[in-house]
Amino acid sequence: MFRQRRSKKIGMSPGTLLYVGDRVDGKIRITVMDYTEEGVIEKSLTDIADCRPCRDSPSVTWINISGVHDVSLIEGLGRQFDLHALMLEDVLNTEQRPKLDDYDDCLFLVLKMVTPDASRGTVDYEQVSIILGHNYVISLQEVETDVFNPVRERIRKGKGRIRKQGADYLTYALVDMVVDHYFSALEIFGEHIEDLQAEVVAALDPQMPQIIQQLKKEVLFLRKSVWPMREAVNALTRSESPLLQEETALYLRDVHDHSVQVIDTIETYRDMLSSTLDIYLSSVSNRMNEVMKVLTIIATIFIPMTFIAGIYGMNFKYMPELEWTWSYPVLWIVLIVVFILMVVWFKRRKWL
Amino acid sequence: MFRQRRSKKIGMSPGTLLYVGDRVDGKIRITVMDYTEEGVIEKSLTDIADCRPCRDSPSVTWINISGVHDVSLIEGLGRQFDLHALMLEDVLNTEQRPKLDDYDDCLFLVLKMVTPDASRGTVDYEQVSIILGHNYVISLQEVETDVFNPVRERIRKGKGRIRKQGADYLTYALVDMVVDHYFSALEIFGEHIEDLQAEVVAALDPQMPQIIQQLKKEVLFLRKSVWPMREAVNALTRSESPLLQEETALYLRDVHDHSVQVIDTIETYRDMLSSTLDIYLSSVSNRMNEVMKVLTIIATIFIPMTFIAGIYGMNFKYMPELEWTWSYPVLWIVLIVVFILMVVWFKRRKWL
Amino acid sequence: MFRQRRSKKIGMSPGTLLYVGDRVDGKIRITVMDYTEEGVIEKSLTDIADCRPCRDSPSVTWINISGVHDVSLIEGLGRQFDLHALMLEDVLNTEQRPKLDDYDDCLFLVLKMVTPDASRGTVDYEQVSIILGHNYVISLQEVETDVFNPVRERIRKGKGRIRKQGADYLTYALVDMVVDHYFSALEIFGEHIEDLQAEVVAALDPQMPQIIQQLKKEVLFLRKSVWPMREAVNALTRSESPLLQEETALYLRDVHDHSVQVIDTIETYRDMLSSTLDIYLSSVSNRMNEVMKVLTIIATIFIPMTFIAGIYGMNFKYMPELEWTWSYPVLWIVLIVVFILMVVWFKRRKWL
Amino acid sequence: MFRQRRSKKIGMSPGTLLYVGDRVDGKIRITVMDYTEEGVIEKSLTDIADCRPCRDSPSVTWINISGVHDVSLIEGLGRQFDLHALMLEDVLNTEQRPKLDDYDDCLFLVLKMVTPDASRGTVDYEQVSIILGHNYVISLQEVETDVFNPVRERIRKGKGRIRKQGADYLTYALVDMVVDHYFSALEIFGEHIEDLQAEVVAALDPQMPQIIQQLKKEVLFLRKSVWPMREAVNALTRSESPLLQEETALYLRDVHDHSVQVIDTIETYRDMLSSTLDIYLSSVSNRMNEVMKVLTIIATIFIPMTFIAGIYGMNFKYMPELEWTWSYPVLWIVLIVVFILMVVWFKRRKWL
Amino acid sequence: MFRQRRSKKIGMSPGTLLYVGDRVDGKIRITVMDYTEEGVIEKSLTDIADCRPCRDSPSVTWINISGVHDVSLIEGLGRQFDLHALMLEDVLNTEQRPKLDDYDDCLFLVLKMVTPDASRGTVDYEQVSIILGHNYVISLQEVETDVFNPVRERIRKGKGRIRKQGADYLTYALVDMVVDHYFSALEIFGEHIEDLQAEVVAALDPQMPQIIQQLKKEVLFLRKSVWPMREAVNALTRSESPLLQEETALYLRDVHDHSVQVIDTIETYRDMLSSTLDIYLSSVSNRMNEVMKVLTIIATIFIPMTFIAGIYGMNFKYMPELEWTWSYPVLWIVLIVVFILMVVWFKRRKWL
C-alpha cells in the first residue's frame, strides 16, 4: 500500500495538478465550520467557491474536504485561498512524505493517518493535509472518516478551550487526533506480537516466520510514516511563524511528545519481533536436536544388535556356536547386556 | 505493563482530566512537610484545599500525594496551585513518557520509578510526577511507597544541607532517589544475567531462549523508560529557570551522571544477553554435531559389517564359501580388521 | 559497474583532463536551446565555439552535451565559458561522487542518473553534470538519453512557468527529472522484492540466496549514489549563491523531499531483503526438520522390528521358539503392537 | 568487577561520605612532592593536615594518596583544601563513571586505570581521581601502584619540561600515564584474539564460544570505561578554566588523540571477536556437513545392497534363483556394479 | 601490522624522542627540491643542517625524508625548523592516528599511505607526515617509495600550476597522492570480493569463511586508517590557517570528496563481504538439506523392504507363506508396489 506510483508523474511540469492515489471513486464532501466564542455556523458545500465569504470573516473557519481525487476542486480551492501550486500538487499526491512547509502566508502540513484494520490485522494509511492560514484551517482527507468528529463535537458544544482559541489551536487539535490514532494501531500490533510470542512457545508452525516477517513489514511501514511525521510536528513546534501563538506551542510540544512515544514503542516492537523470530528458530533447532537424538539412540542400540543377529543367520557349514545347546540363551543375555550398557551410556551423556 | 492504553483518550479535548492506568483501588494519602532551617511541621491532609496556607508561607512546602486515580483531587490541586490543565492531564496519564516541561511559574517533571520484584524477577514501573514551584514541591505517585522516606528522614533530622536549601534542592533530592532506585533494578538484572550465563554453559535447557528473551524484553522496557528520563534530567540540568539556583545545578549534574551510568549498564546488559543466546545456540549446534558423530560412527561401522553377514545368510545352493572349513573364523578376522580400520580412520579425522 | 577505475588517474596533475569511463564510442551531440518568455531558438551544434553568442545574450541558454569522452570538446567548452579546470576534470571523471561545488561565478552539480533495465533486472548509472552560470545552464551526459525530453517539451510549448523563470529554475527542472527517475528504479526493485518473497514461500530454490544478495548489492549501489545526491540537493537548497532566486528554493526543497523519500524507501527495501533471506533460511531449516522427522520415524519404527526378524533368522540348533506352532502369528502380533505403540508415541510428541 | 554496588548508597543524603568499593584492607600512603624549577622536596605524610603548608607555597605541590577507604582521611583532605562535598563523595565512590567536573576553584577528574592481568587474561580496574587546584594537584588511587613512578622520576631528575611547568602540566602528565596504560591492556587483548583466531581454525573446541564471549565481555567493560574517559579528556581539552594554560592544551589534545585511538582499536577488536565466533560456527556447520556426508554415503551404498542380500536370505520354498548354479557369482557382480555406480554418482555430485 | 606497540613508550616524558616502528634498517635519504616559477634546484643531502639556507630563501622548498628511524636526524630537523617536540614525537611514532595539528607557525599532518601488495593480497601501511610551514614543506616517510615521483616530475617539467603556486599547493599535491593510492587498494579488494562471490557460488570450500574473514579484517584496518584521515583532510579544508590560500581550499575540497568516496566504497565492501559469508552459509545449509534428503529417501525406501525380507528369512517351522508356490513372485510385486508408492509420495513432497 506504500507502493511507489510517483513514476507516472515523471516528466510533468511541477505545478501540474494530477491525482496520484487509488481512491478515485469516493464521494467528495466539503463541510465548513465557522465559529467564534459566541457560536458556530456549520454547513455542507457543493461549490468550493462558496467558502469565500468565510475566509474573509473574522471568525475561525474550518473547511474539511473528504476526497481529493477531483483535480478541478483542488484547483478551485487554490484559487479561492491563493494557495501555491506546489502545495496543491502535494495535496493531490497521496504518496507524499509527512512534512511541514512554511509558505509565509500559510503553513502546510502533510500527515499520514493510520486506521488499524483489526480483521485483516493490517493498517490503512490515508494522507491528511492541513493548511493553516490567517483565521482559517483547511483539512483534506483521501476518504471520508470519522477521525475529526470529536473535534467537531468539541466545537459544537464549546467544550474545552477550542472555541476561545484561534485557528492555530484548531490545527493542533487536528494534528493531535491524527497522532492519537497511531496508539490504537500500536495496540493492535502489540497484541499481535504478544499472541505470536505465546504461539511460538506453544507450537512449531512452519508458517510462523512468514507471519512474523509480515508483521515486521507492517511495523516498518508504520515507522516509515511516523519518523517524518515526528520531524514535521517538531518543525511545527519550533516554527516561528506568526500564525502560531505562543500558548499553542505548549500544546504542540505535547503532541510532539506523543509522536516520540509512538516511535519508542515501534522500535521496541521491532526488537520484540526479531526476538520472536529468534525464539522460533531456536525452537526449530531444539526440535531437530531432539529428533536427531531419538534417531541416534534407536539406531545406536539396534544396529549393533541386528549385526549380531545377522552373524548367526549366516549359513556356514562350520559354525561351532550354532551347534551348542546354550548359544541362544547366552546370545540373549549378551544382547540385553549390550542394551543396558548403551542406555547407561546415554544417561551419562544426558541424552535420555 | 507498558501496554498502550492511551487509545481510550482518543478524541478527548486536551485538558479533559481522565485517569489512565490500572491502580484504581489504592488508598490516597496526602502528606505535607513544611520546613525552614529552624524546624519542620508535618501533617497528613484529607482535603487538598487545606494545603493552601502552606503554599503562601515563606517556608519550603513539600506535598506528597500517593494515588492519582481520584480525578477530583487532582482538579482541586490544580485549582489551589493554579496549575495548567495539560500538566494535570499528564499527572493522570500514568503512561506518560518521562519529560521536563517548563511552565514559566513552575517546572513539571515526569519520571518512572522502578521497583524490582525479586521474586518474580521483573520490575514494576510507577509514574512519579514532580512539580517545582516557588517555595513548594508537589510529588505525585501512583501508589504509596517508601521511596521518599530517606528524604523525609533527612528533613526531620535536619541531616545534610536539605533544610538549609530551597525547594529546588528538595526536587533534586527526590529525583536522586528515583534515579538511585534504578541501580537496584540493574543489580537484579545483572545477577540474573550472570546466572543465565552459568546455566547456559552447564546444561541445555530448551526453555533457555525464552527466558533470555523475556529478560531482554524487561531490559528493553527499562531502557525505554531510562532514555527519556536521562533527557529530562539533562534538560533540568541545563534549564535556565529562575526556580533553580546555580548551586543546585551542581547536584543535578551528578544525577545526570548517574542516569548516564544506568544507560551504559543497560546497553552492556543488552550485549551480554545477546551473547548468552549466541552461546546457547552454539551449544545446541555443538550438541547436534556430537549426536551426529555418534550416529555416523555407529552406522558407518556396523552397516557394512551387517551387509557382509547378510551375504552369508543367503540361501543360494551354490555358494562355495559356505562349505569351506575356515570360512567362519576368516570372516570374523575380516570383520575385526574392517572394524579396526574404521576406528583408525575416525581417529585420524578426530571424530573419536 | 561502480568499479573503481580512478587508479589510472593516480599521479596526474590535477586539472589534467582525462576521460575516466567506458562509454568511448557513443556519438557526441550538442544541442542548444535559447529561450525567453517570448520564444525559443533551438539548434544543434557541431563546434562548441558556436555557443559563444548564446552565452552573452540576455536570454536563458541551455546547452546539453551527450557524450563526454571527447576531451578536446570539454576543453573547448571550458575555454568558452571560463570554467575551472577542476570542474572539467570532474565532468570527465564519470566515477565522481554526486556533489555540489560552488565556484563563485557558477554552481557545479554532479548527479547520477539511473535507468532501470527491466529485462536484466538491474539499473544503469550515468553521470549527469549540470553547470549553472549567469543566464546559462550546461548539462553533460555520458550517452544520449531522452531523460530531459519532457523539459525540452515544456520549454518548446511554454507550458508551466519554465519560460518565465531564469536559469536556476531550469536547473531545478533538470535535477527534478534526475531525482524522479529514481522512483521508476525503486518500482522495479519493489516488484522484484515482492516477487521474491512470494517465490520464497512457494518453493525452496537453492539459487534464492544468490538472487537475494544480487538484488541487495544493486540496492546497496543505488543507495551509494542516492546518499551523496541527497546531500548535494540539500546543499543546493541551502545555498546562498546569488545565482539562485528565493522562489526557486521552494521548488528545490520539494526535490530534496523526494530524494529523502527515495532513501527511506531504499532503507525499507534493505530491511525487506534481509527479511526475505531470513524466511528462506528458516524455510530450509523447517524443511530439514521435516526430512529428519520422516527419516527418524521410519528408522525408529523399522529398525527394532528388523532386529526382531533378524533374531529368528538365526540358525542356532536349539531355539525353542522356532519349533512352536504359534510362534509366527504371535510374532506378527508383537510387531503390530510395537508399530502401534510407536505411532502413538510419535503422535504424542506431535511428530505426526 | 563492574558490578553495581551503588545500591547501598540509596537514600543517603548527598554529601554523606561513604566508601563504595572492595579494597578496604590496603595500607594508606600519602606522599607529597613539592617542586619548582630549582628543586624538589619529597616527603611521606601520616597526617593529612601536614600538607597545609605546601598548599600555600608558590611551588607546585603534588599529593598522591593510595587507598581511599578511610573516610576520615578524605574528610580531612576536604577540610584542608576546601573541597566540595560532592567531590569527596565521588572520590570515595569507586564505581564512579569517568568524568570532568569544573568547580570554579578546581578541576575534578575521575578516570579508570586499567592494569592488565596477563596470567588470568583479564583486566583490573582502579579508580584514579585527580584534583587540579591553583598550584597543587591531588591524585587519589584505590591501591598503591607504580603507575605514576615515571612521572615522579621525571620530577626528581628534572627531565623534560615538567619542572618548568605548572600544576596543569603535572595533571596532563598523570592523565597521559593513565591513558597510556590502556595500550598495554589492548596489546594483551590483541594477542588473545589472534591466538583465538588461530585456534578456531586449527581445532573445534566446544568451549570456544564461551571463551570468545568472555573476551567480548572484557572488551565491553573496557569500552564502558574508555568512552566516558574520552569525553572527560575532551572536556579537559576544550575547558576554558583559568587553571589550564594554553600551552598545556596542546599536550592534552595529544592525550585525547590517544584515547580516540584506544576506542578505535576496541571497536576493531569487537568486530574481530564477532568474526571469530562466526568462523567457529561455520566450522561447526562444515564439520556437520562432512559428518552427514560420510553417513549418507555409507548408508546409501550399503542399505540397498543389504536389502538384496536379505531377499536371498528368505526361506521361501519356491525361489528359482536359489537353485541356479551361477546365481551367487552373478549377485556379486550385480552388487559390485551397484557399488561402482553409486561411487560414480557421488563423485559427480562432488561428495567424494 | 596495526599491532599496538605504543606500550614501550609508557612512562616516557612527552617530547622524549623514540622511534616506534619496525623499519629500522632502511637507508635514509634526504632530497630537497627548491623551486620558483622560473626554475628548480634539486639536491640530495646527507646532513640535515644543509637545508637551512633553503628554508630562508623566498622560493618554495620541499624536503622529503625517507626513513624516520634515525632519532638524531629528526632532532636535527626540529632544531633547523624550530619544530615543536610533540610534532617530532608524532613523526617518530609510526603508529600515530591520522590527524591535523595546527601549530600556529606550521600545520602538521599525519597520514597513512597504503601500498597494496597484490601477490599476498594484503595492504601495507606506511606513515607519511607532512609539515607545512611558511614557504617550505617537509614530508617524512617510513621507507623510500615512488609515491611522490609524479609530483616531482610535475615540478621538474613545470607541468600544471604547481610551480606557480605556493607551499600549500604542494601540500595539497602530496595529500592528493596519498589519498589516490587508496583507490588502487580498493580496486584489489573489489576484485578479491568479486572473485570470492564467484567462488562461493561455484564450490563449497570449507576454507571460505576464513578467507572472507581475513579480507574483512583487512577492510576493517583500511577503514580504521581512512576514517581519521578523512577527518584530518576535512580539518585541513576548513582550516583558517594563514598558511593556506583560498584558491588551494578548492583543491583540498576535492581531496576530501575523494576520501569520502573511499569510505563509501569501504562500507559497501563490508556489506558485500557479510553477504558473501551469508551466501556461503546458506550454501552449506542447502547442501546439508540435499544430503539429508538423499539419505532419507534411500533409508525410507529400503529399510521397510529390508524388514519384509527379514521376516521371510526367519526360520520358524510353521510359516505357511514359505510353502506357497506364488509367495516369492507375490512378494516381489508387493516390494515393487511399495517402492513405487514411496517414490510417488516423495515426488508429491517435491523431494525428488
Choose the most confident range, by mean pLDDT, from B170-174, C20-24, E241-245.
B170-174
Nearest to D328 among B149, B159, B318 (CB): B318
Which pLDDT value is given to residue B11?
A: 63
Same domain, E269 and E337: no
Q: Are residues D145 and D231 in the same domain?
A: yes
Same domain, C74 and C21: yes
> Is D283 within 8 Å of chain B by CB?
no
Is residue A24, in this structure, part of any structural domain at all? yes
Q: What is the pLDDT of residues E78-106, one digit of tens each?
A: 998 989 888 998 899 888 889 999 888 89
| Residue of B328, A307, B332, E316 whose CA lies nearest to C315 | E316
D217 and D317 fall within a common domain: no
Q: Which of residues 252-281 of E touch D (CB under 8 A)?
A: 277, 280-281
More confident of the two residues C96 and E108: E108
d(CA A94, CA A140): 11
Cβ contact E300–C298 (<8 Å) = yes
Q: Are A163 and A155 a contacting pair, CB within 8 Å?
A: yes
Residue C55 buriedness (CB in 10 A; 0-12 / 13-18 / 19+): middle
Would B62 be classed as within a structural domain? yes
Instruction: Give the residue from A234, A264, A282 where a domain finishes.
Output: A282
3-state secondary structure at position A7: helix
Which residues, listed in sequence order, are joined to residue C130 by a DSSP beta bridge? C109, C139
Do residues A92 and A218 both lie within one domain? yes
Residue A207 forms contact with B (CB below 8 Å): no
Please indicate whether, in this complex, the C-beta atoms of C13 and E162 are within 8 angstroms of each other.
yes
The reply to whether A92 and A14 lie within a common domain is: yes
- Inspect the interface and report whether the beta carbons of E310 and C313 lie closer than 8 Å: yes
Query: For residue E7, what is the domain's CATH number?
Result: 3.30.460.20
| SS3 category, B26 | coil
Same domain, yes or no: E249 and E331 = no
pLDDT, mean over chain D: 87
Q: What are phi and psi of B127, to 5 degrees?
A: -85, 130
Backbone angles phi, psi at C126, to 5 degrees: -135, 135
Domain match, C63 and C167 both: yes
Nearest Cα of chain C lies from the Cα of A262 at a distance, in angstroms, of 18
- Give the tens place of pLDDT for each residue, A177-219: 999 889 888 888 888 888 888 888 787 788 888 888 888 888 8
Closest chain B residue to the Cα of A182, Cα to Cα: B7
| Strand (E) or helix (H) holding E290 | helix E246-311
Most confident region among A118-122, B8-12, D244-248 by mean pLDDT? D244-248
Q: How much is the pLDDT for C2? A: 40
Residues C180, A4: C-beta atoms closer than 8 Å: no
Q: Are residues E224 and E325 in the same domain?
A: no
pLDDT score for B7: 53
Q: Are D281 and D289 in contact (CB under 8 A)?
A: no
Indicate the residue of E303, E311, E351 with minimum beta-carbon distance to C299: E303
> Which contiguous run of DSSP H or E holds residue C335?
helix C327-348
Separation between Cα atoms, residue E46 and residue E62, nearest integer Å: 15
Cα–Cα dist B228/A267, whole Å: 14
User: Which residue's C-alpha cell is 637551512?
Assistant: E52
The continuous run of DSSP H or E covering E230 comes out as: helix E208-238
Does A287 sit within 8 Å of C285, measured CB to CB? no
Does any domain span residue C223?
yes
| Domain annotation covers residue D294 | no
Cell of B51: 494545603
What CA–CA distance (Å, rounded) separates C50 from A298? 91
> What pLDDT is attached to residue A6?
54
Task: Tell me the pLDDT tens digit for each residue of D278-327.
Answer: 888 888 888 888 888 999 999 999 999 999 999 999 998 888 889 898 88
Neighbours of chain E (3+ CB pairs under 8 A): C, D
The interface residues of chain C toward chain E in range 210-249, judged by CB-CB distance below 8 A, are: 210, 213, 216-217, 220-221, 224, 227-228
Exposure of D225 in the CB half-sphere (CA atoms within 13 A): 27
H or E stretch covering D55: helix D52-56
Residues C215, C147, single domain; the answer is yes
Q: How far is CA E152 from CA B292, E40, E244, E319, in A?
A: 66, 10, 21, 102
List, in order, residues 6 or more apart from A154 with CB less than 8 Å away: A160, A162, A173, B13
Burial C6-19 (b: 16+ CB within 10 A, else e): bbebbbbbbbebeb
Strand B60-66 with B136-141, pairing: parallel
Centre a 10 Å sphere on the Cβ of residue D344 and count the other Cβ atoms it contains.
Answer: 11
Supply φ then ψ for residue B189, to 5 degrees: -60, -45
DSSP states of A314-330 as a string? ---S--HHHH-SSHHHH
Query: Helix, strand or coil for residue C324?
Result: coil
Which residues from chain E sit within 8 angstroms of residue C9, using beta carbons? 180
* Total of domains in chain C: 2
pLDDT at C62: 94
Residue located via cell numbers 521474491: C196
Average the pLDDT over B18-44 and give the result. 85
Q: What is the mean pLDDT of residues A24-46?
A: 87
What's the grid cell of residue C225?
549514489
Nearest CA in chain B to D206: B286
Residues facing residue D111 across a β-bridge: D128
The average confidence (pLDDT) of chain B is 87
Helix (H) or strand (E) holding B123: strand B122-133
Residue C7 has a pLDDT of 53
Query: D45 forms bridges with which residues in the sheet?
Result: D30
Domain span holding position C339 = 312-348
Of A86, A206, A227, the CB nearest to C286: A206
Asked, for residue E299, whether it belongs to a domain, the answer is no
Measured CA angle at D338 (ends D336, D341), to 5 deg: 110
CA dihedral C272, C277, C282, C287 (to 10 degrees): 130
- Residues A237-284 pLDDT 10s: 888 888 998 888 888 988 998 899 899 899 889 888 988 888 888 888
Burial of E337 (0-12, 13-18, 19+ CB in 10 A): exposed
In DSSP terms, D65 is beta-bridged to D30, D140
Q: Name the domain boundary from D282, D304, D321.
A: D282
Give the pLDDT confidence score for residue B205 in this predicted structure.
83
Regarding whether D316 and D177 lie in a shared domain, the answer is no
Residue A7 banded pLDDT, cuts 50, 70, 90: low
The three three-digit cell numbers of residue C95, written as one number:
566515477
C195 touches chain A (CB under 8 A): no
Using CA atoms, how far apart are residues E188 and E191, in angstroms rounded to an integer?
Answer: 5
Q: Which residue has the higher pLDDT, B2 or A134?
A: A134
What's the average model confidence in pLDDT over E47-60?
A: 82
CA distances from A240 to A82, B282, C253, E131 (A): 22, 57, 19, 48
Residues of A in contact with B287 (CB under 8 A): 289
Contact between residue A68 and residue A140 where contact means Cβ atoms under 8 Å apart? yes
Q: Between chains, do C315 and A322 touch, taking CB under 8 Å as contact? A: yes
Place of cell 545377522: A310
Q: Is residue D303 part of a domain?
A: no
Tell me how many degrees the CA angle E312-E318-E321 measures, rounded to the nearest 5. Answer: 45
Angle value at C-alpha C65, between C62 and C69, nearest 5 degrees: 155
Instruction: Please name the residues in contact with D336: beta carbons below 8 A apart, sequence gap of 6 or more.
Output: none
Q: Which residues of B237-251 are buried (b: 16+ CB within 10 A; e: fewer)?
A: bebeeebbeeebbbb
Highest mean pLDDT among A13-22, B153-162, C49-58, E256-265: E256-265
With an 8 Å Cβ cutoff, are C161 and A15 in contact?
Answer: yes
E9 band by pLDDT with thresholds 50, 70 and 90: low
What DSSP assignment string belongs to A259-303?
Answer: HHHHHHHHHHHHHHHHHHHHHHHHHHHHHHHHHHHHHHHHHHHHH
C-alpha–C-alpha distance, residues A207 and E245, integer Å: 66
Query: Quick one: A337 and A191 in the same domain?
Result: no
Say if E126 falls within a structural domain: yes
Does B302 or D6 have the greater pLDDT score? B302
All three cell numbers of E179, joined, read 589519498
**Helix locations, chain E, DSSP H:** 52-56, 71-81, 85-92, 149-157, 167-202, 208-238, 246-311, 320-323, 327-348
- Type of residue numbered B32: V
Q: What are phi and psi of D312, to 5 degrees?
A: -85, 5
pLDDT in tens, D190-241: 888 888 888 887 877 888 888 888 888 888 889 888 999 999 999 998 888 8
DSSP secondary structure string for all residues of C89-153: HHHHBTTPPPEEEEETTEEEEEEEEEEEETTTTEEEEEEEEEEE-SSEEEEEESS--STTHHHHH
Report how far residue A325's alpha carbon sits from residue B278's, in angstroms, rounded to the nearest whole number. Answer: 59
User: Of D250, D272, D288, which has the smallest distance from its Cβ to E288's Cβ?
Assistant: D288
Q: What pLDDT digit, counting tens, does each position of E308-338 carry?
A: 999 999 998 888 889 898 889 999 999 999 9
E179 vs E237: CA distance, rounded Å: 14
Q: Which of the 8 DSSP states describes residue A135? A: S
Residues contacting residue B257 through CB under 8 Å, at least 6 positions apart: D96, D97, D99
Cell of E73: 636526524
What backbone phi and psi angles, to 5 degrees, belong to D233? -65, -40
Q: Is A205 exposed, middle or buried (0-12, 13-18, 19+ CB in 10 A)?
A: middle
| For chain E, counts of helices (H) and of strands (E) | 9, 7
Interface of E with C in 159-178 (CB under 8 A): 159-162, 172-173, 176-177
Q: What is the spatial distance between Cα A284 and Cα B285, in angstroms, rounded to a whole number?
A: 12
